[in-house]
């Protein structure tokens, strides 16, 4: 049956929306995995505070993936079915942890959040006045990504300052 919900989308092709949302969907799964592995391998001073934050962010990224999949289905699309597609379709690079030190891990994670902010602000600009439902979704996710960056940056500052103060002693 034709969806009334799709008839309110103006000035943007539904197929394009589905494609863009699938790209963001790939990003969210990779972000989820990145946090999930970082939380396990991270080492060093004050790592417990970092682990708590990384675990919370992993949960958030998985929730974002679920929201996006639901929207793709509402639009009549199919969320990516094969994880092999995640690397081909993602907007943001997967930041493979090469240095497990807590400061380096936080820097990798901050890079990921900054890319997510760029991606969702572009999606918000693109959907504003065209698809209110997707606009609302990407705005909610964008607010989470901004919060993620701030949480990680604040933690990065605290840990860096603590290390500096230890060195001065
Ligand atoms: Fe996310
Ligand atoms: Fe995030
Ligand atoms: Mg947080």
Which CATH number belongs to the domain containing residue 50 in this structure? 1.20.1260.10
Return d(Cα 73, Cα 155) in angstroms, integer.
37
| CA 61–ligand 3 middle distance (angstroms) | 11
Would you state the pLDDT for residue 169? 84
How far is the C-alpha of 95 from the C-alpha of 98, rounded, in Å?
9
- d(CA 47, ligand 2 centre) in Å: 19
The answer to whether 60 and 114 are in contact (CB under 8 A) is: no
Q: How far is the CA of 94 from the centre of ligand 3 (A)?
A: 19
Q: Do the domain assignments include residue 2? A: no
Q: Left, alpha or beta for 48 (phi > 0: left; psi -120 to 50: alpha)? A: alpha
Q: What is the C-alpha to C-alpha distance for residues 58 and 123, in angstroms, rounded to an integer?
A: 22
* Residue numbers of the domain that contains 90: 13-168
Tens digit of each residue's pLDDT (9 = 90 or more) over 125-151:
999 999 999 999 999 999 999 999 999
Q: Give the Å distance between the CA of 144 and the centre of ligand 3.
A: 8
- In degrees, rounded to 5, the angle at the alpha carbon of residue 144 between the alpha carbons of residues 60 and 121 is 125
CA of 142 to the centre of ligand 2 (A): 8
Helices (H), 4-131: 4-7, 14-41, 47-74, 84-89, 102-127
Is 7 a member of any domain?
Answer: no
Residue 101 lies in a domain: yes
Domain count, the chain: 1
- Going from the Cα of 66 to the center of ligand 1, the distance in angstroms, rounded, reads 10
| Residues in the chain where the model's pLDDT stays below 70 | 1
Q: Please tell me the distance between residue 52's alpha carbon and the centre of ligand 2 in angstroms.
A: 14
Is 6 a domain residue? no
Task: Determine the pLDDT at residue 3.
Answer: 81
In a domain, 3, yes or no: no
Which ligand is nearest to the Cα of residue 30, counting in written order?
1
The whole-model pTM stands at: 0.95
What pLDDT, on a 0 to 100 scale, did the predictor assign at position 95? 84
Comparing CA positions, the residue from 54, 141, 154 lying closest to residue 97 is 54
């Amino acid at each position: 049956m034709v969806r009334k919900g799709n008839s309110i989308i103006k000035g943007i092709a539904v197929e394009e929306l589905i494609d863009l949302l699938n790209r963001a969907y790939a990003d969210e799964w990779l972000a989820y995995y990145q946090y999930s592995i970082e939380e396990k391998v991270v080492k060093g001073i004050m790592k417990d505070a970092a682990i708590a934050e990384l675990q919370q962010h992993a949960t958030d990224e998985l929730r974002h993936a679920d929201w996006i999949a639901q929207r793709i289905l509402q639009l009549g699309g199919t969320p990516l079915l094969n994880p092999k597609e995640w690397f081909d379709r993602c907007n943001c690079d997967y930041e493979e942890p090469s240095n497990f030190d807590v400061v380096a891990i936080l820097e990798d994670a901050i890079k990921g959040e900054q890319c997510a902010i760029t991606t969702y602000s572009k999606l918000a600009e693109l959907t504003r006045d065209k698809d209110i439902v997707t606009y609302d979704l990407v705005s909610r996710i964008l607010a989470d990504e901004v919060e993620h960056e701030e949480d990680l940056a604040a933690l990065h500052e605290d840990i860096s300052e603590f290390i500096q103060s230890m060195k001065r002693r």
